[in-house]
Amino acid sequence: MKSIRSIVGSLASLLLVLLWSLPLSAQPHYWQDQRGQLSEAQAWQQAVHWPLQLRQPWRSAAADWAWRPVLAAEAGPQRVLVLGVPDVRFLQLWHRRADGSVRQLIRLEEGSAYTARPLPARMLALPLPDSLQAGDSLLLRYRTHGNTPLQLGIIPRWQWQAGLADSNMANGLQLGVLLALMVFSLLQYLLAGERTLALYAALAAAMMAMLLQLEGYTFAWLWPQAGGWNQLAPPLLMGVVLLLQSLFALSLFGVARSHRHLYRAYLAQLASLPLAGLAYWYAGWLWPSLLSALAYLGLILYTGAYYGRRGSPLAVPFLAGALLNVLLSNVLFGLVLSGLALPVSPFALPKLGYAAEALCFAVALARKVQLLQRRVADSRRRHEQEALQLAQAEAATAAARQQARASQLQLAATSHDLSQPLASLRLAVGALAPLPQAAPVLAHVNRTLDYSEALLGGLMAEARGQLQTVPASLPLGPLLADACQRHAPVAAAKGLRLVCHDSAWHYPAAPLLLGRILDNLLVNAIRYTASGSVLLGVRYRPDARVIEVRDSGPGLAAGQLQRLLQPFQRGAGQGGDGHGLGLHITHSLCEAAGYTLEVRSTPGKGAVFAVVLPWPAAGMATG
- Is 308 part of a structural domain of the chain? yes
Say if residue 38 is in the same domain as residue 72. Answer: yes
Higher confidence at residue 213 or residue 585?
213
Say if residue 250 is in the same domain as residue 359. Answer: yes
Domain boundary, last residue among 115, 135, 159? 159
Say if residue 184 is in the same domain as residue 135. Answer: no
pLDDT-based confidence at 94, cuts 50/70/90? very high
pLDDT single digits (tens) 245-301:
889 889 888 898 899 999 999 999 888 888 888 887 777 676 787 788 788 888 888
Identify the bridge partners of residue 80 per DSSP, sorted by sequence position. 127, 155
Say if residue 266 is in the same domain as residue 303. Answer: yes
pLDDT single digits (tens) 595-612:
988 888 888 888 888 999
pLDDT over 50 (residue 17): no
Domain residues for the domain of 521 are 476-614
Helix (H, G, I), strand (E, B) or coil at 37: coil
- Is 136 part of a structural domain of the chain? yes
pLDDT over 90 (residue 119): yes
DSSP alpha helix (H) spans, 326-347? 333-337
DSSP alpha helix (H) spans, 254-314? 255-258, 260-283, 287-309
- Is 166 part of a structural domain of the chain? no
Classify 241 in phi/psi space as left (phi over 0), alpha (psi -120 to 50) or beta.
Answer: alpha
pLDDT single digits (tens) 158-193:
999 999 999 999 899 889 988 988 998 898 888 878
Share of the chain above pLDDT 90, in %: 26
pLDDT over 50 (residue 403): yes
Strands 497-500 and 533-541, by their bridges, are parallel
Say if residue 200 is in the same domain as residue 141. Answer: no
pLDDT value of position 15: 46
Average pLDDT taken over every residue of the chain:
80
Say if residue 252 is in the same domain as residue 313. Answer: yes
- Is 623 part of a structural domain of the chain? no
pLDDT over 60 (residue 418): no
Say if residue 559 is in the same domain as residue 597. Answer: yes
Domain boundary, last residue among 372, 399, 423? 372
The number of C-alpha atoms within 13 Å of 590 and in the hemisphere containing its C-beta is 23
pLDDT value of position 331: 74
Q: How many CB atoms lie within 10 A of CB 87?
A: 23
Say if residue 105 is in the same domain as residue 26. Answer: yes
- State how far the Cα of 316 lies from the Cα of 311, in Å rounded to an integer: 10
Say if residue 188 is in the same domain as residue 144. Answer: no
The C-alpha angle with vertex 483 and arms to 536 and 434, in degrees rounded to 5, equals 135
Put simply, whether the predicted model's pTM sits higher than 0.85 gets the answer: no
**Cα separations (Å) of 458 from 112, 403, 511?**
102, 20, 11
pLDDT-based confidence at 18, cuts 50/70/90? very low
Strand order in the sheet with 125-127: 125-127, 79-82, 153-156
Say if residue 154 is in the same domain as residue 210. Answer: no
Domain boundary, last residue among 350, 372, 394? 372
pLDDT value of position 206: 92
pLDDT-based confidence at 321, cuts 50/70/90? confident
pLDDT value of position 20: 40
Share of the chain above pLDDT 70, in %: 76
Residue 16 is part of a domain; what is its CATH number? 2.60.40.2380
- Is 460 part of a structural domain of the chain? no
pLDDT single digits (tens) 228-237:
899 889 888 8
- Name which of 17-26, 321-330, 581-590 the model is least confident about: 17-26
- Is 100 part of a structural domain of the chain? yes
pLDDT value of position 322: 80
Counting the structural domains of the chain, the total is 3
- State how far the Cα of 485 lies from the Cα of 187, in Å rounded to an integer: 84
- Is 403 part of a structural domain of the chain? no
Strands 533-541 and 544-551, by their bridges, are antiparallel
- State how far the Cα of 61 lies from the Cα of 143, in Å rounded to an integer: 8
- Between helices 348-430 and 227-253, what is the axis angle to 10°? 40
- Is 466 part of a structural domain of the chain? no
pLDDT-based confidence at 304, cuts 50/70/90? confident
Say if residue 82 is in the same domain as residue 129. Answer: yes
Say if residue 132 is in the same domain as residue 203. Answer: no
